[in-house]
Amino acid sequence: MHELIFNTKLCENCKTLDCIMKCQYIEMDLDEAGREHAKILRGEESRILKDCVTCYACEEYCPSRNHPFYLIVERQEQLGIHPVPKPIEKSQVIMMGPRGKIKQKELKAPVIDMCFFDIMKGGIRGKLFEGATTIGGSDVFCNLMFLHFARNSTIRERLPLIMDNIMKYYLEPAGVKEIICYHDECYGTYTSWAPAFGIDVPFRPVHLFDYIYHKLIDLKPDIKPLNVKAAYQRPCSNRLCPETDHFVDDIFNLIGVERPKRTYEYKNALCCGGIPEAAQRFDLVEEIQRKNVEDMKSTGAQYGVFNCPFCFWTLAEPVAKAGMIPIMMSDLCLMALGQ
């Protein structure tokens, strides 16, 4: 069984405890954070394990990339702490499991891995995605969402099969070696979670924004700057691959979108509220969404831009009600290309 590669000594000598001190949802002073975090290291119950809203952000806050959130998930699971009510957890495990109905299909690069969001494949269109083919659905689903459900075990169990499916049914027959990850969650799985558990990834994952940025460079003569202001909703899973966050600014610059400064962005981004809703923490949902949307609005943004479909479905309505246009990043780029 693949175990989390975690350096306990690093934490024992850590003076700043950024993983807890920067958390936007748990308030503690440094002394308490030290005591509570030490309990997690020893495998004991801690307030952190119960209060965590599973926003993934401490994966980014730890300057040593020591995987504090993956450890939280390990401990929650070992100690039977369920961030989401058990009946919801149980039904999600069944619903999202691989069906074994995968069939070989003809593919050619670029191959866009839609994750579980096949429903969004209408967005894979136009000059940005010319010649692209897609894969998606339960048999290639990364299952990383089970981090929100204290179930590293489910990811561990399913991921090797999922990667085998991608290789055997799709990439090997087509002679393709890389996939473009439509969702940050897949990219985070292959570049952060899998290495953290010592699991090899047999293909090269590419972040969607990396792909879009380079495609826009090729298409530069076709770009008509949009000259609009936009706010960006950073998804929780981007915390697992913060090295890709700069692409938001890079893409906005290319397509003539101004990103006015807001409070809840970059490292200070707020969750969309979707997961606290599943966890039935409704007061928190209301507060998070209000703060988030008011913050977007206060910048004068005309657009609320998303990459994660789940964030989009959760926040599109409040964003629209506040007078902004919710839009996926790829669609915003297609607008700049006159499509």
CA atoms lying within 13 Å on the CB side of residue 183: 29
Q: Minimum distance from CB of 318 to ligand SF4 (Å)? A: 21
Question: Cβ neighbours of residue 144 under 8 Å, at least 6 residues apart?
Answer: 155, 185, 186, 188, 189, 193, 237
DSSP label at residue 2: P
Q: Given the structure tokens 């994966």, which residue do they identify? A: 59
Among 28, 40, 62, 241, binds ligand SF4 (CB under 6 A): 62
Tell which one of 28, 36, 54, 312 touches ligand SF4 (CB under 6 A).
54
Q: Which is nearer to ligand SF4, 168 or 282 (CB)?
A: 282
Residue choice 27, 42, 44, 64 for contact with ligand SF4 (CB under 6 A)? 64
Backbone angles phi, psi at 230, to 5 degrees: -140, 150
Does position 284 interact with ligand SF4 (CB under 6 A)? The reply is no
Binding of ligand SF4 at residue 217 (CB under 6 A)?
A: no
The phi, psi pair for 190, rounded to 5°, reads -80, -25
Left if phi > 0, otherwise alpha if psi is -120 to 50, otherwise beta: which for 157?
Answer: alpha
Residue closer to ligand SF4 (CB basis): 36 or 113: 36
DSSP one-letter string for 60-94: HH-TT---HHHHHHHHHHHHT--SS-HHHHHHHHH
278 counts as binding ligand SF4 under rule CB under 6 A: no
**Contact set for ligand SF4, span 150-189 (CB under 6 A):** none
The Cα–Cα gap between 323 and 310 comes to 20
The one segment of 8-16, 249-257, 275-283, 295-303 that binds ligand SF4 by CB under 6 A: 8-16
Parallel/antiparallel/unpaired status of strands 257-258 and 228-233: parallel
Q: What is the DSSP letter of 267?
A: G
Residue from 28, 53, 112, 163 binding ligand SF4 (CB under 6 A): 53
Member of 28, 40, 46, 58 binding ligand SF4 (CB under 6 A)? 58
User: Among 123, 120, 125, 160, which residue's Cα sits nearest to residue 140?
Assistant: 160
Tell me which of 11, 142, 145, 171 binds ligand SF4, using CB under 6 A: 11
68 binds ligand SF4 (CB under 6 A): yes
Shortest CB 246 distance to ligand SF4, Å = 21
**Should residue 23 be labelled a site residue for ligand SF4 when binding is judged by CB under 6 A?**
yes
* Rounded Cα distance, 55 and 121, in Å: 26
Residue 159 near residue 194, CB atoms below 8 Å = yes
Interface with ligand SF4, residue 118, by CB under 6 A = no
Task: Quote the least distance from Cβ 60 to ligand SF4, whole Å.
Answer: 9
313: its two tokens: 């479905």
* Pick 69 or 190: Cβ nearer ligand SF4: 69
Does the footprint of ligand SF4 cover residue 275 (CB under 6 A)?
no
Residues near ligand SF4 (CB under 6 A) are: 10-11, 14, 17-19, 23, 25-26, 37, 48, 52-58, 62, 64, 66, 68-69, 72
